[in-house]
């Protein structure tokens, strides 16, 4: 699953946001007796809803409280057995509809428009991680070993409308969902599959207790790439790991950094799949220990200068027993710099970053001001 890197949301740590353009689906609804079956469907912009007549004389009419709003309206009967409607690109939220002659008898339905959610931060220590799936949703599966170090946090942003997150938990623990805009929290326990509607704004997930496996599915937020100033897009296609995985994210201004490490288990191994589109990109990559890469030239160990060049195409980074690496996924260092100067007081050399070069300047000038 191609994944877009996005900027910091509020004061949360930023990691990866989702950005693949997905194939449109056709979603079928049968119309018979006094029902739409299913009554509620989840769709995304570009999907086609197809209502098929089975029995009766009906309409498919958009609107709420039995009042048409003009978005769509069609008879559905023996003469017009099929009606199709494409969800507009700017649709969001819930679109209600009804049958005109039978609305007062409860013949109503709704389309839940899933506008997608971006991952905004993540912290994972687990026995295994699988992320990246060619299906229409993003899917993450986390397996925990039952130790005290097991942990999972994840934050999402829904830009507008809403997004549906499905959650399955096994074990004896739970996952809490908190709407960071309203402050409302809800706890979801193991043993039951859950559907969480995330409204526009920021959301956080936190696991607690003795959780064995967490499975998450959500809709990608459509996007065009990392938004980097170098006209190239760096995408995360997949993350997979076994026998101990540590994934964290950090951020400084507009730079988003992903840290991935393996444990001391000799069999611990994590692989990050990357894809670059548009043009080659330069990103800071630093590694220590058993780390290797394909598709690009690895920098020297424990050095992140000069920046590593990731060519257009597929690259992979593999970390094994006790190794770790960090990679800057997105670096929009010009976005907030309209006057050509640095907007960050600690950026002493005005290169858009707070890094070792700034520290060298500071140490070289250490002392009493004249």
The CATH number linked to 97 is 2.60.40.420
Residue 99 has pLDDT above 50, yes or no: yes
Contact criterion met (CB below 8 Å) for 181 and 201: yes
**94 and 129 together in one domain:** no
Which pLDDT band, with edges at 50, 70 and 90, does 8 fall under? very low
* Of the residues 49, 81, 113, the one at which a domain ends: 113
**231 and 323 together in one domain:** yes
Please state, rounded to an integer, the average pLDDT across all residues of the chain. Answer: 83
Q: Is residue 162 part of a domain?
A: yes
Q: Is residue 368 part of a domain?
A: no
Would strands 67-76 and 174-179 be described as parallel, antiparallel, or unpaired?
unpaired
**139 and 207 together in one domain:** yes
User: Rounded distance, CA 195 to CA 188, Å?
Assistant: 10
Contact criterion met (CB below 8 Å) for 247 and 122: yes
Residue 257 has pLDDT above 90, yes or no: no
The CATH number linked to 210 is 2.60.120.10
pLDDT digits (tens, 9 = 90+) for 322-345: 999 999 987 654 333 333 334 455
Which pLDDT band, with edges at 50, 70 and 90, does 7 fall under? very low
Task: Report the percent of the chain where pLDDT is more than 90.
Answer: 64
Residue 101 sits at φ, ψ, to 5 deg, of -75, -15
pLDDT digits (tens, 9 = 90+) for 142-200: 999 887 778 999 999 998 899 999 999 999 999 999 999 999 999 999 998 999 999 99
Residue 215 has pLDDT above 80, yes or no: yes
* Of the residues 58, 89, 113, the one at which a domain ends: 113
**248 and 101 together in one domain:** no
- Please state the separation of Cα 100 from the chain's center in Å: 39
**311 and 238 together in one domain:** yes
**293 and 225 together in one domain:** yes
**108 and 150 together in one domain:** no
Q: Is residue 313 part of a domain?
A: yes
Exposed / middle / buried, residue 197 (Cβ in 10 Å: 0-12, 13-18, 19+): middle
**125 and 149 together in one domain:** yes
Query: Beta partners for 307?
Result: none
- Indicate the number of domains in the chain: 2
pLDDT digits (tens, 9 = 90+) for 111-130: 999 998 988 889 999 999 99
User: Rounded distance, CA 302 to CA 227, Å?
Assistant: 28
Q: Looking at residue 359, what is its pLDDT?
A: 57
* Of the residues 85, 113, 141, the one at which a domain ends: 113
**102 and 131 together in one domain:** no
Which of the pair, 73 or 219, is modelled with greater confidence? Answer: 73
Domain boundaries, position 79: 26-113
**178 and 273 together in one domain:** yes
Q: Is residue 173 part of a domain?
A: yes
Which of the pair, 353 or 277, is modelled with greater confidence? Answer: 277
**153 and 264 together in one domain:** yes
Ranges of beta strands (E only) in 144-283 are 151-171, 174-179, 185-189, 194-208, 211-219, 233-242, 245-252, 255-262, 269-277, 281-283
Q: Is residue 182 part of a domain?
A: yes
Q: Is residue 218 part of a domain?
A: yes
Q: Looking at residue 6, what is its pLDDT?
A: 32
User: Rounded distance, CA 225 to CA 89, Å?
Assistant: 18
Token look-up 């942003």 returns: 157
Token look-up 């739970």 returns: 174
**173 and 42 together in one domain:** no
Q: Looking at residue 67, what is its pLDDT?
A: 97
Residue 220 has pLDDT above 80, yes or no: no
Residue 223 has pLDDT above 50, yes or no: no
Q: Is residue 64 part of a domain?
A: yes
């Amino acid at each position: 699953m191609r994944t877009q890197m996005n900027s910091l949301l509020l004061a949360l740590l930023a990691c990866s946001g989702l950005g693949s353009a997905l194939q449109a689906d056709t979603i079928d609804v049968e119309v018979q007796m006094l029902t739409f079956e299913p009554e509620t469907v989840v769709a995304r912009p570009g999907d086609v809803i197809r209502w098929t007549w089975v029995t009766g004389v009906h309409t498919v009419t958009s609107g709420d409280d039995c009042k048409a709003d003009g978005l769509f309206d069609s008879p559905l009967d023996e003469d017009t057995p099929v009606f199709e409607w494409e969800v507009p690109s700017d649709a969001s939220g819930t679109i209600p509809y009804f049958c005109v002659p039978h609305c007062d008898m409860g013949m109503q339905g709704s389309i839940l428009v899933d506008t997608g959610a971006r991952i905004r931060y993540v912290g994972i220590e687990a026995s295994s991680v699988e992320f990246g799936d060619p299906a229409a949703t993003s899917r993450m599966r986390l397996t925990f070993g039952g130790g005290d170090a097991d942990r999972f946090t994840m934050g999402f942003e829904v830009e507008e409308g809403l997004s549906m997150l499905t959650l399955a938990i096994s074990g004896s623990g739970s996952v809490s969902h908190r709407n960071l805009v309203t402050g409302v929290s809800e706890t979801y326990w193991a043993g039951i599959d859950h559907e969480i509607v995330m409204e526009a704004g920021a959301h956080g997930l936190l696991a607690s207790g003795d959780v064995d496996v967490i499975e998450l599915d959500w809709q990608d937020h459509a996007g065009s790439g990392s938004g980097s100033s170098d006209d190239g897009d760096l995408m995360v296609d997949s993350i997979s790991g076994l026998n101990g995985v540590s994934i964290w994210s950090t951020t400084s201004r507009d730079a988003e950094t992903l840290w991935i490490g393996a444990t001391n288990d000799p069999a611990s191994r994590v692989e990050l799949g990357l894809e670059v589109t548009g043009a080659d990109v330069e990103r800071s990559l630093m590694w220590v220990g058993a780390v290797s890469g394909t598709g690009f030239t690895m920098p020297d160990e424990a050095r992140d200068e000069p920046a590593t060049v990731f060519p257009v195409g597929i690259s992979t980074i593999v970390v094994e027993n006790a190794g770790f690496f960090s990679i800057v996924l997105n670096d929009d260092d010009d976005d907030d710099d309209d006057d050509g100067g640095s907007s960050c007081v600690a950026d002493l050399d005005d290169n858009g970053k707070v890094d070792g070069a700034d520290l060298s300047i500071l140490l070289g000038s250490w002392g009493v001001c004249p």
